Amino acid sequence: MPDDSGSGLSRRQVLAASGTGLIAATAGPTSAPAPAPTPGRAVNSRHRADHHGDGTPEQIHLTWGDDPARSVVVSWASPAPAVRPRVRIGQRVIPAEERTYTDGLSGATVWTYHARVLGLRPGATYGYAVTADNDGNRADPFSATFTTAPEGRAAFRFTSFGDLATPNTAWVLSYGQSAYAVGAVESFQPLFHLLNGDLCYADLNPLSQPEVWRDFGNNNQASAAYRPWMPVPGNHEIEFGNGPQGLLSYLTRYTLPSNGTPGLEGRWYCFRIGSVLFVSLSADDVVHQDAGAFVAGPNALTPAPSTGNQALAAGASFYVHGYSGGAQTRWLEATLATARRDASIDWIVAQMHQCACSSSRDGNGSDLGIREEWLPLFDRYEVDLVLCGHDHSYERSFPVRGFDIAAGTDALTGAAVDTRRPHPMTTVDSGVFDTSQGTVHLILGCGGTDDNLDVFGARDNGVVQAKVFTRANRPTLTATQGVFDRPEADAVEDATWSARRDTSTGYGIAVFDVNPGTEAGGQTSITVTHYHAVGADPVNPLSGEPGAPTDDYTVFETFTLVRPRSDGRRWHAKQSTSVVA
């Protein structure tokens, strides 16, 4: 989401402010919006079961285990503690681990369950069922199928978007497109889906966070119970009262591959499918922008008395920059170095929420923190593709390597600012890009949230211009008594790296088809097709007319990434170089 910055009168800022502070201050737990009907038998069964003892599985979703060719994790929640929660797969019955948390604002307790299914065969399809002794559907429990990852160099498909929200429009930033987006994933039948952060904006509904997560989980179940959905945390997963980085809800609900970092598990991770290493990062650790939970004011945000938590004053924000103390970047470098020494790994795809290369005008823009901390590593180890969310739009960069120094200016004064502008290795939009020569960045914050952004920055002469955060935009008082906001990005630059932008809608899904190639030392490719949902627009920014969600996803563009296979080539570390603009 645009993350609540700026002091203008735009609709998104009014929404953001009302969601973070103004509503929060006036709505008690009993006045939270009524939950919308959610699909699936699990939810219907709630009417039949005793609420206090209802262990009916809901919000069922899969993630990869540590080895996606041989393991998956089945996770779910239930309205009350489940008795003997378990997964049945073939003749095996696998007990689930219970993990709970108590929301630090509403005081509601959430029960989640996680069953690690190990010892599977690569590239095989399995049926499974989820149940418990107090499952309202025990006679006919929820069942689904999944397919494990192939082993070795193999063709496969994955999909991606971020910024999904829920279909329950009672919640701030939720919109009906969220349901169609889940349907779109299913329509493409990928092996798995990457969900690039800002999952449901629970933090913008601060006294109803677990209910928002529930609606998100039940919406996703239509796809995520059938194929793994692999998330990264975004700024809206940072919730007041929920742990040192505010990620307690996220971490409780997802079981993700180990990163081997005690105390910081679940926040970042990697997994491997065929010849591709996927690296999922927690960009809030490195970005300058302050966009986590926020109390705009004028009233304080008062947690439910049962939490024992103190009221949060107007102007409070949850800023976690640097939370890993460098551990994530050290892990990233070690992970990338190991991958590039491995002749069986061709591709490295990084997934994070915030953007190094976004020219969104009404959204957040780019962040120097990612450019400083991680782009030199992406250069050195030839990361091929970076998938982001955060800005609710579609944008593609040219392959970039190194950076142009002194290419930015202060947004207010016009003074020179070094934004470390990523340097395009070509500006010819040929449709085929060799990513061994530069990294392609995609903005895919186009999942389903009620705030599509399809307007991009431009100078008077038409040159594409990007906003860049080069320092923290901590909350400042506005002209309205007691009300705070967080300023927009402090710098701008000509976005010479920006290759393609979708100005017709902020909704879409990217589909990636990996072709491993046919011979050692030959070429491998990933064909990328971005589909967009034209016309899906809560309010047309030009006409002001309300639009409607749509399930009609059509092709916006197709392009191909190529690189030499690693099994016929000695790899040498590249240097990240600067170029005077």
Q: Per rule CB under 5 A, is residue 235 in the interface with Fe ion? A: yes
Number of residues that bind Fe ion (CB under 5 A): 4
Specify the stretch interacting with Fe ion by CB under 5 A; choose among 211-219, 230-238, 420-428, 461-469.
Answer: 230-238
Binding mask 407-446 for Fe ion (x = CB under 5 A): ----------------------------------------
> Minimum Å distance from CB 283 to Fe ion?
9
> Minimum Å distance from CB 469 to Fe ion?
12
Closer of 390 and 396 to Fe ion (Cβ):
390
Does residue 306 sit in helix, strand or coil? Answer: helix
Specify the stretch interacting with Fe ion by CB under 5 A; choose among 19-27, 87-95, 386-394, 464-472.
Answer: 386-394
Tokens 């009404």 map to which residue?
362
Q: Per rule CB under 5 A, is residue 12 in the interface with Fe ion? A: no
- Report the alpha-carbon distance of residue 556 to residue 358 in Å, rounded: 18
> Minimum Å distance from CB 521 to Fe ion?
41
**Cα 219 from chain centroid (whole Å):** 16
What does residue 350 show for φ and ψ, rounded to 5 degrees?
-105, 140
505: which residues sit within 8 A by CB, 6+ positions away? Answer: 446, 452, 454, 532, 533, 534, 535, 536, 537
**Side-chain half-sphere CA neighbours of 178 within 13 A:** 30
> Minimum Å distance from CB 59 to Fe ion?
22
List the 408-410 sheet strands across, edge first.
366-367, 465-469, 491-494, 408-410, 416-417
> Minimum Å distance from CB 233 to Fe ion?
10
Pairing mode, if any, of strands 523-532 and 508-515?
antiparallel
Whether the CB-CB separation of 111 and 78 falls below 8 Å is answered with: yes
Specify the stretch interacting with Fe ion by CB under 5 A; choose among 112-120, 210-218, 229-237, 270-278.
Answer: 229-237
> Minimum Å distance from CB 16 to Fe ion?
11
What does DSSP assign to residue 348?
A: E
> Minimum Å distance from CB 236 to Fe ion?
6
Closer of 106 and 289 to Fe ion (Cβ):
289
Closer of 198 and 537 to Fe ion (Cβ):
198
Closer of 290 and 537 to Fe ion (Cβ):
290
Kindly identify the residues of this chain, within the stretch 159-198, that bind Fe ion according to CB under 5 A.
198
Specify the stretch interacting with Fe ion by CB under 5 A; choose among 57-65, 234-242, 481-489, 502-510.
Answer: 234-242
Specify the stretch interacting with Fe ion by CB under 5 A; choose among 231-239, 241-249, 274-282, 337-345.
Answer: 231-239
Q: Per rule CB under 5 A, is residue 234 in the interface with Fe ion? A: yes
Phi/psi class of residue 580: alpha, beta or left (left: φ > 0; alpha: ψ in -120 to 50)? beta
What does residue 330 show for φ and ψ, rounded to 5 degrees?
-65, -40
Closer of 360 and 525 to Fe ion (Cβ):
360
Residue closest to Fe ion (Cβ): 390
Encoded tokens for 451: 């705030």
Closer of 165 and 528 to Fe ion (Cβ):
165
Binding mask 37-76 for Fe ion (x = CB under 5 A): ----------------------------------------
Tokens 């997964």 map to which residue?
87
- Report the alpha-carbon distance of residue 123 to residue 35 in Å, rounded: 39
Specify the stretch interacting with Fe ion by CB under 5 A; choose among 87-95, 114-122, 382-390, 473-481.
Answer: 382-390
Whether the CB-CB separation of 523 and 560 falls below 8 Å is answered with: no
Q: What are the b/e assignments for 262-287, b being 16+ CB within 10 Å?
A: eebebbbbbbbbbbbbbbbbbbbbbb
Tokens 């640097």 map to which residue?
322
Encoded tokens for 525: 């490719």
- Report the alpha-carbon distance of residue 430 to residue 437 in Å, rounded: 15
> Minimum Å distance from CB 200 to Fe ion?
12
> Minimum Å distance from CB 1 to Fe ion?
5
Closer of 234 and 399 to Fe ion (Cβ):
234
Encoded tokens for 313: 């004053």
Whether the CB-CB separation of 109 and 249 falls below 8 Å is answered with: no
> Minimum Å distance from CB 50 to Fe ion?
39
Whether the CB-CB separation of 298 and 481 falls below 8 Å is answered with: yes
Phi/psi class of residue 533: alpha, beta or left (left: φ > 0; alpha: ψ in -120 to 50)? beta
Closer of 61 and 390 to Fe ion (Cβ):
390
Whether the CB-CB separation of 464 and 498 falls below 8 Å is answered with: yes
Specify the stretch interacting with Fe ion by CB under 5 A; choose among 152-160, 186-194, 235-243, 326-334.
Answer: 235-243
Which of 142, 109, 136, 140 has the alpha carbon at shortest distance from 46?
136
Specify the stretch interacting with Fe ion by CB under 5 A; choose among 184-192, 372-380, 390-398, 408-416.
Answer: 390-398
> Minimum Å distance from CB 277 to Fe ion?
25
Kindly identify the residues of this chain, within the stretch 208-227, that bind Fe ion according to CB under 5 A.
none
Specify the stretch interacting with Fe ion by CB under 5 A; choose among 212-220, 233-241, 296-304, 504-512.
Answer: 233-241
Report the 3 state secondary structure along 186-200: HHHCCCEEEECCCCC
Q: Per rule CB under 5 A, is residue 292 in the interface with Fe ion? A: no
- Report the alpha-carbon distance of residue 268 to residue 282 in Å, rounded: 6
> Minimum Å distance from CB 381 to Fe ion?
26
308: which residues sit within 8 A by CB, 6+ positions away? Answer: none
Residue of 272, 390, 441, 532 that binds Fe ion (CB under 5 A): 390
> Minimum Å distance from CB 225 to Fe ion?
26
Closer of 198 and 418 to Fe ion (Cβ):
198
Q: How far is CA 301 from CA 36, 317, 415, 534, in A?
A: 25, 11, 38, 38
Kindly identify the residues of this chain, within the stretch 298-357, that bind Fe ion according to CB under 5 A.
none
Residue numbers at the binding site for Fe ion (CB under 5 A):
198, 234-235, 390
